[in-house]
Amino acid sequence: MINRVVLIGRMTKDVELRYTQSGVAVGSFTLAVNRPFKNSDGEREADFINAVIWRKSAENLANFTGKGAQVAIEGRLQTRNYENNQGQRVYVTEVVVDNFSLLESKSESDKRREENGTSQPEKQSSAPVNNGGVEISDDDLPF
């Protein structure tokens, strides 16, 4: 069986970088991927695809990209579910990123950061990662 996803798009906001209790980095972000056709009004539409990235790759992606950055990601599609505070079952589908490539030059990236008013992210506390009500410990990591 094959579960591989390759996407090229623009980040809708900076990577949300957090750390597990034991200091493992995890980043969440959304990638806007243009559809290959125009709608009836002649405009391009986009799909907004959630992604998660782990460890040093998460830190690198957070440090070298930001809102509007064009990136390519490669990984696998994952579906998980949890029960929210209202007792409803919520399903989440996301790409678990294995590799990424920066698709813009450093000067373009720096210019975009200045325009967006963003800077290098600071390391956040080692609070547990909360993915929609689900606590993640190192024992839950797939690697």
Q: Which contiguous run of DSSP H or E holds residue 55?
A: helix 55-64
Taking residues 128-141, what's their average pLDDT? 48
**pLDDT confidence tier of residue 108, bands split at 50, 70 and 90:** confident
Taking residues 112-135, what's their average pLDDT? 52
User: What gap in Å lies between CA 50 and CA 32, rounded to an integer?
Assistant: 9
Domain containing residue 22: 5-140
Higher pLDDT, 128 or 48: 48
What is the number of domains present in the chain?
A: 1
Taking residues 6-33, what's their average pLDDT? 94
User: What gap in Å lies between CA 114 and CA 127, rounded to an integer?
Assistant: 30
Q: 58: domain CATH number?
A: 2.40.50.140
How confident is the model over 55-74, as pLDDT tens digits?
999 999 999 898 999 999 99
CB 82 within 8 A of CB 70: no
